[in-house]
Amino acid sequence: MNIPTVLCTFAIAIGAVITIAAGSVRPQRMPLLVFCDVGQGDGAYIRMEDGFDAVIDGGRDGRMVSCLDQYRYPDDSSIDLVIVTHADSDHYAGLINVYRRFPVRYTILPSAGSSDASYAEFRALVASHSAVMPPPQLGDSLRFGSAVFRFLWPGRETKHSQCLHDRNSCSYVHLFSYQDFDVLFTGDVTRKQLNRILLNNVQSLEVIKVPHHGSAGGLSPQLVSKLNPQSAVISVGKKNPYKHPDESIIRMLQGRTVYRTDSQGAIIFRLPRSPGQAK
Ligand SMILES: [Zn+2]
């Protein structure tokens, strides 16, 4: 999609709402949210009815590109936004193929990144293929047409050195909202970070991406009760050495609809259409 007008600068103030105009709505387009089967890692794809599309993480290999080829609009050969939640290879390495294959309009990279040489190469690739936005601060929102990404973590007090040491805990946590459909993307944070996030306005989610591939420390019964997700998605590889997802997390999610990429492949949610949009 072509985004004709950028209505803002890249200077992000605290709590700022950044609005980037979407293109004209084309009829007969079905908005989707896809949790791609990228093995042991995260990779999600959002496409909207106005043509806007976004990638949140990209797994570690070529499976993300395969997923994009399957679910992008056939006439859309570019990606509008990529968000890298943190600088672990199971979240960014598969994006190398994405940048080599598709023009990417905007990219949000982790503020701390990683000192690994492979991440430095990735960062250079991104910088040469895309506009890199300043890292969003807690409370910032990005609006693309009717899609909104609200950034909830890391907090402003989070230290850069701490993030280099513990990348998981500094994953971006953001809420993707479209009409009444709310999805919480959690990267690889733990319940410790989620408990520190002001989740007062984040309740009754349609979907939660379960933190850290279902690792034991990702959720608590209290968090599940508070967030009250209808559905939970565990992005995880078959027979992974970490034994993700942990049984305790599965038990916490009893009564919810739980989807797993290791046993079900790509998990696809149809997003609601705009009022008046053709069915
Ligand atoms: Zn991970």
SS3 label, residue 112: coil
Between the CA of residue 209 and those of 38, 42, 115, 259, what are the distances in Å? Answer: 14, 9, 27, 10
- pLDDT at position 277 is 43
Confidence of residue 8 (pLDDT cuts 50, 70, 90): very low
Residue 45 carries which DSSP code?
E
Q: How far is the CA of 43 from the centre of ligand 1 (A)?
A: 10
User: What is the pTM assigned to this prediction?
Assistant: 0.89
Q: How far is the CA of 88 from the centre of ligand 1 (A)?
A: 7
Q: How far is the CA of 108 from the centre of ligand 1 (A)?
A: 17
Q: What does the pLDDT look like over 213-252, one tens digit per residue?
A: 999 999 999 999 999 999 999 999 999 999 999 999 999 9
Q: What does the pLDDT look like over 103-119, one tens digit per residue?
A: 999 999 998 888 889 99
Inform me whether the pLDDT recorded for 48 exceeds 60.
Answer: yes
Q: How far is the CA of 256 from the centre of ligand 1 (A)?
A: 23
Q: How far is the CA of 138 from the centre of ligand 1 (A)?
A: 21
CB-proximal residues (5 Å) to ion ligand 1 = 90, 188
Confidence of residue 19 (pLDDT cuts 50, 70, 90): low
Q: How far is the CA of 91 from the centre of ligand 1 (A)?
A: 6
Q: How far is the CA of 41 from the centre of ligand 1 (A)?
A: 5
272 contacts: CB under 8 Å, gap ≥ 6: 31, 178, 179, 180, 181
Q: How far is the CA of 15 from the centre of ligand 1 (A)?
A: 28
In 3D space, the residue among 63, 16, 42 whose CA is nearest the CA of residue 183 turns out to be 42
Q: Decide yes or no: CATH 3.60.15.10 for domain 17-22+30-270.
A: yes
Please report, for the chain, the start and end positions of each structural domain, with discontinuous segments joined by +.
Answer: 17-22+30-270
